[in-house]
Structure 1
Amino acid sequence: MTTIGIIGAGHIGSQVARKAVQLGYDVVISNSRGPETLAELVAELGPRARAATPAEAAATGDFAVVTVPLRNYRDIPVEPLAGKVVIDTNNYYWERDGRFPALDSGEATTSGLLQEHLPASKVAKGFNHIMAKQITTDGTPAGTPNRRALATASDYAEASALVTKLYDEFGFDTVNIGPLSESWRAERDRPAYVVRQNAAQLAENLAKAPRTT
């Protein structure tokens, strides 16, 4: 069975873990405060989940979900994630993260920064423009009329394909934006952000997004 390493056990990380174990994935989840602080969550998740350090989660996972505040992206372990797909859920909240001039100017993207930090990994954007609680509630079977869609982006086709597969299992259609350099289109303060939309609506919202806000 596939194991997902989750680095970050906040709202998004815990919801991805809940849906993943429901679907039959094994989950190794971590945070910055230590595995012992995740005992309650792991007890809720059941036998398919265990708590670990970020390095252990990175090493154990067949692929990883990184869902930490942007200001901490340089703390993500590099070597254990080499060669693996890494799904990045981040958005830039300057009020929380401090200012990143390259993001303010539109020269960089949040997922692009993570890709630079993880040069041997295959980073893909995912789960960043949906409210965390809706990850486990808004999914519907494939073919459902007006099925909600989520966006992804990656410089690696296999990474985008993995996110597309995971989205479908979670109950969502996918719109592939293209390379990470375009991933800003699904981020904060843009038309596609935390709006319930089907694939056609999402594609339209992504297309009309302004580069800087």
Structure 2
Amino acid sequence: MGAGLGRLWAKHGHYVMFSYSRRPEKLQDLVREIGSHARSGSTEDAVRYGNVVLLAVPWAAIGDALSDAGPLNRKILISCVNPFGARGLEVGLTTSAAEEISKLTPDAAVVEAFNTVFASILHSGAHLLVRQRGKGA
């Protein structure tokens, strides 16, 4: 999700910074592919870089990612995280991923978004079909 959204945002003129990958070379390849609107860095660098931070990691990595991020004071934190693990739903039925993330980041404004969109749709360009159909209507 992070790569797909970052590509789209950069394509539309936004500057993006990618971080928190198991394979740092993947981030460098992504930056080369996108061009001048993209860069990579540490998770803490990415938080300092932007006013908006996208959290797009597996649920099990939330603690590590937020720890690496450092202070999120007055940042908008968009989470596209679904709280699923190997055993299924990890948070129960009375809360949400965004609520649990808010507890860990009380100084950030947490927004849950894009968590019902499959990353493969962003990478395939299928999201453009909706836009094209809408223009003719």
Classify the TM-score, shorter chain. 0.7 to 0.9
Of the three residues 96, 118, 136, the one matched with 1:131 is: 118
Give 5+ residue unaligned stretches, structure 1.
1-11, 148-213
Is 2:96 the counterpart of 1:109?
Answer: yes
Moved over 4 A (4+): 34-37, 140-143
Q: Can you list the C-alpha shifts for 1:27-59, whole angstroms capped at 9, x where unaligned?
A: 011014474441111110111100101111011
| Change over 3 Å in CA distance of 1:35–1:52 after alignment to 2 | farther
Query: What percent of counterpart residues are identical?
Result: 25
Q: What is the alpha-carbon distance in structure 2 between the residues aligned to residue 27 and residue 115 of structure 1? A: 23
Structure 1 CA distance for aligned equivalents of residues 19 and 76 of structure 2: 17
| Distance in 2 separating the partners of 1:142 and 1:42 | 28
In the alignment, what sits opposite 2:43? 54
Aligned-partner Cα distance in 2 for 1:142–1:95: 38
Question: Counterpart of 1:164?
Answer: none
Letter in 1 for 2:31: V
CA-to-partner distance for each residue in 1:108-128, whole Å, 9 max, x for gaps?
211111111110000001111
Distance 2:21 2:118 in 1: 22
d(CA) in 2 for partners of 1:142, 1:84: 33
8 Å CA contact 1:78–1:117 kept in 2: the answer is no
Spell out the pairing of 1:1-213 with structure 2 (5 A cutoff): 12-33=1-22, 35-75=24-64, 76=66, 77-79=69-71, 81-95=72-86, 100=90, 103-104=91-92, 106-135=93-122, 136-139=125-128, 140-141=130-131, 144=134
SS in 1 for 2:86: helix
* Bigger relative CO (Cα 8 Å, ≥ 6 apart): 2
Matched residue count: 131
CA contact (8 A) 1:35 1:52 kept: no
TM-superposed CA distance for 1:137, in Å, is: 3.0
How far the C-alpha of 1:141 sits from its partner, in A, is: 4.2
When the two chains are superposed, the root-mean-square deviation of aligned CA atoms in Å is 2.6
